[in-house]
Structure 1
Amino acid sequence: MDFPADRLVFGPDDVDLSRSPLAGHLDAETFVLGAFNPGLARLASGNLLMLVRVAEALREPVSNGHVHSIRWDEGRYVRDAWPLELCDTADPRKFLVHGGSWQVMALTSLSWLLPVELAPDGLEVVAVHYDRAVAPHAAFQCYGVEDARISRLEGRWLMTSCSVSPERHSTTLYSSENGLDWRFEDIVLDHQNKDMLIFEGRIAGQYWAQTRPLGALYFTYPPGSPWRAGPSINLASSPDALHWKPRREPGLRPHADTVATARIGGGTPPILTERGWLTLWHGVEPKEIVGIYRTYWSILDPDDPSHVLESEHRPLLEAKPDLTRPLEDKMYLRDVVFTTGIADAGDYFIVASGEADLACRITHIPKSHFGL
């Protein structure tokens, strides 16, 4: 689907690793595996801010019969070594460590968040704020901080992120009074709950959020059900944005009649429109190791977000090879667009996505596309 503006605005070559939080810590060369999956917010100045996930990886992860990973350790960054014969390295983003009764893995990169300021239309970089980077600072995020999602409520910005460690794969909350300087609040969701999206507005006095618990086991729906068993987008509410209670009602669920959305997860924080809460989410079609990621949209009831008013089954965004062709030498994934931010721009929305787990994509989508 073609839109008025659709381009990559920031990528691996735009990151200065001499200013990385990891600079000077490791006795090995690193490179930017990807600069992608940006949270998006409108600043008081009118400019936009992307919080870009920078995946910093070892240039030579395999050496001397071992595969290596990067880990934060009490204020410094270190390299860990695993015997190559114990590991499965088929996925370029991670490696599996064999020998246990359940799946254990390590990442080939460590992620930190880089604030990148854009012009009001999102198509030009104004400044890169290395001094405001969000990086690991505790054991529960020793393998990195990933995939920021930013919501603005009542004059402040709230950012959720995934913090990765052997202790837990948790959702952590940050807040900001200006959208640039971020303060860590706390762990808000525990093990393996990803893609937490805080609604940009309260409902009946409560904060609301979409969540996406993960697991290795899902119970089947009955034969003939319109729903497919697997990861779904759930709902939670909170009096203070710190203490969250899952809602009883289901949120968005994958449909049984299409394999294109066999697995789903949250994309952009829901924003309130004249029709209801607009939410963009991703669907994954199984293919090879990673799958095909596309972006879809739904409108949710303004008073009861468990009630889906409309969903479009055609993808809103798909991976666009023309955009990444100049970065062909850096490509390690294909068929992936992962939408993570949205901002109002009058007659259109500015939508931010990660393209191929490699770079940041900005798309202008007319509001008329959503019936607005």
Structure 2
Amino acid sequence: MTHIFDAIVFGPADVDLSRSPLAGKLDAETYVLGAFNPGLTRLANGNLLLMVRVAEALRHPIVDQHVHSIRWDDDSYALDPWPLDFVDTTDPRAFAMRSAGWKVMALTSLSWLLPVELTADGREVVAVHYDKAIAPRAPYQCYGIEDARVSRVGDRYFMTACSVSPERQATSLYSSDNALDWHLEGLVLDHQNKDMLIFEGQVAGKYFAQTRPLGDLYFAYPPGSEWRAGPSINLASSPDALHWKPYDKPGIRPHSKTIATARMGGGAPPVLTDRGWLTLWHGVEPKGVVGVYRTYWSILDRDDPAQVVVTSDTPVLEPAPELTEPLKELMYLDNVVFTTGIADAGDHYVVASGEADLACRITHVGKQVFA
């Protein structure tokens, strides 16, 4: 598919770790594993803002036959050692504990959020706001803050992010008047609920959001059903954006006729169009270590978002190895495009994605694609 503009605009080499929240607080050398999966919004001055996930990893995680992870601990950071014979390091992003009785893992990096201001068209970086960076500040974020999504509803900005700790992998909420100075509201969705996207507008006087509950068990649909069991995109509503009730009707579900979207999750916050709510989401084809991630789109009914008006079976974005070719020495994953933001730009949308869990990709997508 030909796009008006499609490029990597920010990557690991663009992060100054001397200005990291971890700088001077950790007795070990670190590097940027990835600067990716950016939330996106438009500022009052017309420029675009990326909330970039910076995954900061240990340069030498293995010392004395132990692999180490980074943990926030009361305004400081600690290194936790694990014996090598106790862990499985197949996935470069994490290591799994052996013989735990159930799935237990630790991360090879700690993530924080970096505001990066772009020109109004998203093509160039204007400023990197290190003084506005968001780092862990609560026990439920001790293993990091991941994958921000930013929505503007009225005159307020809301940002959801995944907060990681031993007790839960949950969604935290931030609010702001200007998208630069953020107030942590706390947890809004509990254990194993990721990819929460707040609609950019209300439905029947309520806030709405897409969510993606995860688990190790899914019940089968009846034989011959058009749907495939597995992770799907659910809905929730709220009177205040703080207290959320799951919607009684299902949202977007994997279709039984294709394996390309066997697993799915929310991408960019839904935006209102003449046809209804436009939502970009990711579908994952099982393959290799993490699968192949592509971006698809649906239009949801403006008055009842559980009603899907239309869904595209053709991806609007696919992994683009030619974009990361200059970064190939830093690659540790491939076949992943993970869309996380959308902004209106007149006759097209500016779409923000993480490419290969490594860098930030900006794509201009003509509105006719969604017709």
TM bracket (short chain) = over 0.9
One-letter identity of the residue aligned with 2:201: G
> Is 1:129 aligned to 2:164, yes or no?
no
Residue 63 of structure 1 corresponds to which residue in structure 2?
63
Q: Aligned to 1:120, what secondary structure does the other structure show? A: coil
CA distance in 1, matches of 2:154, 2:103: 42
> Is 1:316 aligned to 2:326, yes or no?
no
Q: 1:65-80 residue pairs with structure 2 within 5 A?
A: 65-80=65-80
CA distance in 1, matches of 2:351, 2:341: 6
CA distance in 1, matches of 2:308, 2:40: 24
- The Cα offsets for residues 70-122 of structure 1, whole Å up to 9 and x where unpaired, read as 00001101110000001000000000011221100000000000000000000
> Is 1:226 aligned to 2:259, yes or no?
no
5+ residue gaps, structure 2: none
Residue 240 of structure 1 corresponds to which residue in structure 2?
240
CA distance in 1, matches of 2:333, 2:78: 27
Residue 302 of structure 1 corresponds to which residue in structure 2?
302
Residue 143 of structure 2 corresponds to which residue in structure 1?
143
Q: 1:88-127 residue pairs with structure 2 within 5 A?
A: 88-127=88-127
CA distance in 1, matches of 2:188, 2:8: 32
Residue 21 of structure 2 corresponds to which residue in structure 1?
21
CA distance in 2, matches of 1:5, 1:194: 29
Residue 214 of structure 2 corresponds to which residue in structure 1?
214
- Cα distance, 1:329 vs. partner? 0.4
- The Cα offsets for residues 237-257 of structure 1, whole Å up to 9 and x where unpaired, read as 000000000011000000011
- Cα distance, 1:288 vs. partner? 1.4
CA-based RMSD of the aligned residues comes to 0.5
- Cα distance, 1:26 vs. partner? 1.3
> Is 1:265 aligned to 2:265, yes or no?
yes
- Cα distance, 1:186 vs. partner? 1.4
CA distance in 1, matches of 2:261, 2:61: 34
Residue 291 of structure 1 corresponds to which residue in structure 2?
291
TM-score (norm 1): 0.99
What is the count of residue pairs matched by the alignment? 371
One-letter identity of the residue aligned with 2:328: E
CA distance in 2, matches of 1:153, 1:79: 40
- The Cα offsets for residues 31-81 of structure 1, whole Å up to 9 and x where unpaired, read as 000000000000000000000000000001112111110000011011100
CA distance in 2, matches of 1:2, 1:57: 35
CA distance in 2, matches of 1:282, 1:64: 40
CA distance in 2, matches of 1:221, 1:300: 23
CA distance in 2, matches of 1:63, 1:222: 52
CA distance in 2, matches of 1:111, 1:237: 28
Q: 1:188-199 residue pairs with structure 2 within 5 A?
A: 188-199=188-199
CA distance in 2, matches of 1:6, 1:244: 36
- Cα distance, 1:258 vs. partner? 0.5
CA distance in 2, matches of 1:100, 1:353: 35
Q: Aligned to 1:322, what secondary structure does the other structure show? A: helix
Residue 3 of structure 1 corresponds to which residue in structure 2?
3
Residue 338 of structure 2 corresponds to which residue in structure 1?
338
Q: Aligned to 1:287, what secondary structure does the other structure show? A: coil
One-letter identity of the residue aligned with 1:315: P
One-letter identity of the residue aligned with 1:200: E
> Is 1:358 aligned to 2:358, yes or no?
yes
One-letter identity of the residue aligned with 2:83: P
- Cα distance, 1:20 vs. partner? 0.2
- The Cα offsets for residues 330-368 of structure 1, whole Å up to 9 and x where unpaired, read as 000000000000000000000000000000000000111
- Cα distance, 1:167 vs. partner? 1.4
Q: Aligned to 2:325, what secondary structure does the other structure show? A: helix
Residue 12 of structure 2 corresponds to which residue in structure 1?
12
> Is 1:252 aligned to 2:282, yes or no?
no
One-letter identity of the residue aligned with 2:114: L
TM-score (norm 2): 0.99
Residue 205 of structure 2 corresponds to which residue in structure 1?
205
